[in-house]
């Protein structure tokens, strides 16, 4: 069952995956095993993405199937079961309203079992600081497509230092023009070229 679900998800068979989940739940299958099957499917999608067998469109579709399938399973999960792998605060920095990349990363992180605090777009530095203090999240993911966003990223990293959080919070950045130079300029720890890399980075910093 678990393997079948993983394979269906990896093949992006939306109706089949959801029907199989429904059948399994009706048969009393352990919901956690189904979640594991879905996660295995997402891992396979990630592998295919890295091998360039899949592209971003397939990542988006797989995340959509995962989200729906989890929606079916969640009511059957005992509270406290399936604790998140860790938490991440994410947002598009001040002055920038682009959210496609940020949303995809947030979705894939949720699929990967992370608790994601998505603050949205055009987020000032102090809002990130507040959320990091409130949640204790060890990773901050910043997105931006404009070159003006580089300054906001730097401002945010500086604010973390001023708030005494820099020692315990890793900062990853991403977005169209982001590269090593922007990491150096902003004082972030790393950058991800695509959503898959961003999830990997979080795994490195939080634990897989």
Which of 51, 79 has the CB closer to another protein?
A: 51
Which of 57, 79 has the CB closer to another protein?
A: 57
* Structure tokens that stand for 31 in this block: 């919901």
Residues of this chain, 127-186, that bind another protein according to CB under 8 A: 146-148, 150-151, 176-179, 181-182, 185
Applying CB under 8 A, which of residues 17, 103, 143, 152 lies at the interface with another protein?
103
Residue 88 pairs in a beta bridge with: 116, 139
Cα–Cα dist 134/145, whole Å: 27
Cα–Cα dist 24/197, whole Å: 32
- Collapsed DSSP state (helix, strand, coil) of residue 76: helix
Min dist. Cβ of residue 103 to another protein (A): 7
Min dist. Cβ of residue 146 to another protein (A): 6
Which of 56, 77 has the CB closer to another protein?
A: 56
Q: Which residue bears the tokens 């949303």?
A: 103
Min dist. Cβ of residue 112 to another protein (A): 18
Residues of this chain, 45-84, that bind another protein according to CB under 8 A: 52, 54-58, 60-61, 64
165 contacts 137 by C-beta, under 8 angstroms = no
Min dist. Cβ of residue 154 to another protein (A): 11
User: Which residues, 6 or more positions from 118, have their beta carbon under 8 angstroms from its beta carbon?
Assistant: 90, 91, 102, 103, 106
Min dist. Cβ of residue 97 to another protein (A): 5
Q: Where are the alpha helices (DSSP H) in 27-117?
A: 31-50, 56-73, 100-111
Which of 25, 56 has the CB closer to another protein?
A: 56
Q: Which residue bears the tokens 């199937």?
A: 65
Which of 167, 180 has the CB closer to another protein?
A: 180
Interface size with another protein, residues (CB under 8 A): 31
Which of 99, 115 has the CB closer to another protein?
A: 99
User: Which residues, 6 or more positions from 20, have their beta carbon under 8 angstroms from its beta carbon?
Assistant: 1, 4, 5, 8
Cα–Cα dist 100/83, whole Å: 27
User: Residues interacting with another protein, by CB under 8 A?
Assistant: 12, 14, 52, 54-58, 60-61, 64, 95-100, 103-104, 146-148, 150-151, 176-179, 181-182, 185
């Amino acid at each position: 069952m678990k393997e079948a679900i993983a394979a269906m998800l990896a093949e992006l068979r939306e109706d089949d995956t959801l029907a199989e989940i429904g059948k399994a739940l009706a048969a009393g299958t352990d919901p956690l095993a189904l979640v594991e099957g879905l996660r295995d499917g997402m891992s396979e999608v990630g592998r295919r993405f890295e091998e360039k067998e899949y592209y971003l469109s397939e990542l988006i579709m797989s995340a959509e199937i995962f989200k729906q399938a989890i929606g079916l399973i969640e009511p059957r999960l005992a509270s406290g079961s399936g604790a998140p792998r860790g938490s991440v605060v994410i947002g598009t920095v001040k002055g920038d309203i682009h959210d496609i990349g940020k949303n995809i990363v947030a979705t894939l992180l949720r699929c990967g079992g992370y608790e994601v605090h998505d603050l949205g777009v055009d987020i000032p530095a102090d809002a990130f600081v507040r959320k990091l203090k409130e949640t204790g999240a060890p990773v901050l993911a910043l997105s931006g497509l404009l070159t003006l966003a580089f300054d906001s990223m730097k401002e945010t990293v500086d604010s973390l230092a001023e708030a005494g959080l820099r020692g315990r919070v890793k900062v990853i950045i991403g977005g169209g023009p982001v590269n090593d130079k922007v990491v150096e300029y902003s004082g972030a720890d790393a950058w991800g070229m695509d959503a898959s890399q961003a999830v990997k980075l979080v795994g490195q910093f939080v634990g897989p």
